[in-house]
Amino acid sequence: MARPVVFVTRKLPPAVEARAARDYDARLNADDRIYTADELAAGALGADALLICTSEKITAGLVARLPGSVKAVSTFSVGHEHIDVAACRARGIVAANTPGAMTEATANIAMLLMLGAARRGYEAQQMVRRGEWSGWTSTMLLGVDFSGRRLGIFGMGRIGRAVAQRARGFGLTIHYHNRRRLPAGEEQGAIFHDSLDGLLAVSDILSINAPSSAETRHVLNAAAIARLPDGAIVVNTARGDMVDDAALIAALKSGKLRAAGLDVFAGEPQLNTAYLDLPNTYLLPHLGSATVETRDRMGFMALDNIDAVLQGRPAPHAL
């Protein structure tokens, strides 16, 4: 009996591909090419499910072109703004994601960005690697402490709460803005603000952890930055389109903001090149979930969704 066909649109970790090949007739992408919409439609012919990444835009137009054999589209990510879920649902296709898979790894990266930005990590690395370090001085590359400062978390979901947990150990006071206030037991002393403006006003460090949506696009714009305390630090591990690059760059140049730590960028990997000339930016290439354990977990959860749908069960993480 022929095995179900799963179209895997990007090269995935070896353990994930091994499981896919074990359980399915897996169409793998050994070259890790980013497929066009036409190639995605062609690759889906005869497939029972698609295992995609955020690089694949599953638009309503593409969903309409998928063959009737496709029963599931499972993404190797928590974010699902690249999938037209309503269009999938209308075709009877289950769309699913991997919530919680990257919480710990992304929260760790947020702390790395905070520390790198606050302690001038990029400048320090450059000094050492360029042979410009001539010895200790009392004023060399002075950063700022965390103790007594206020961390504002925009988006207190799984990752936001994990960031808060880590930040408390550094002596930061936690403030947050969320669509709804957390139960007192989950707040653990964090101070709720019912408006983003209220949060911005008290954020010596602002960590962006909210989901990307039409409402949050460019939420950190010039007006929002003006509400931050002078010398604030901005950290973004969510999505690049939530930041108005021109406004953030201007604030970093002017000294309104002390520094920024960024793991995500609008239009990545083609980021705004003005960031590259700023010594007060600590930049990473979207490494939030980049650990062996996390990427394996993401792949296994994506396959769990496909397993369930093709076996006639509800997907554990259907959208």
Contacts of 160 (CB under 8 A, 6+ apart): 153, 154, 176, 178, 207, 209, 210
Active-site choice (168, 187, 218, 268):
268
Q: Is 268 a catalytic residue?
A: yes
CA 183 and chain centroid, separation: 25
65 CB-contact burial (10 Å; exposed 0-12 / middle 13-18 / buried 19+) = middle
State the DSSP code for 212. P
CA distance 154 to 59: 28
Phi, psi of 286 (to 5 degrees): 55, 60
CA distance 175 to 150: 7
Contacts of 290 (CB under 8 A, 6+ apart): 105
Active-site choice (19, 177, 258, 286):
286
Joined tokens for residue 175? 């403030």
Q: Are strands 150-154 and 281-283 parallel, antiparallel or unpaired?
A: unpaired
Q: Please report the beta strands in the chain, taking only residues with DSSP state E, as ranges in sequence order.
A: 5-8, 25-27, 49-52, 72-75, 94-96, 150-154, 173-177, 191-192, 205-208, 232-236, 257-262, 281-283
Q: Is 3 a catalytic residue?
A: no
Q: Is 132 a catalytic residue?
A: no
∠ CA 286-267-249, rounded to 5°: 85
State the DSSP code for 7. E
Residues 15, 296 contacting (CB under 8 angstroms): yes
- Output b/e per residue, 272-289; b: 16+ Cβ within 10 A: eeebeebebbbbbebbbb
Residues 208, 238 contacting (CB under 8 angstroms): yes
Active-site choice (239, 295, 297, 317):
239
Catalytic residues, which ones? Answer: 239, 268, 286
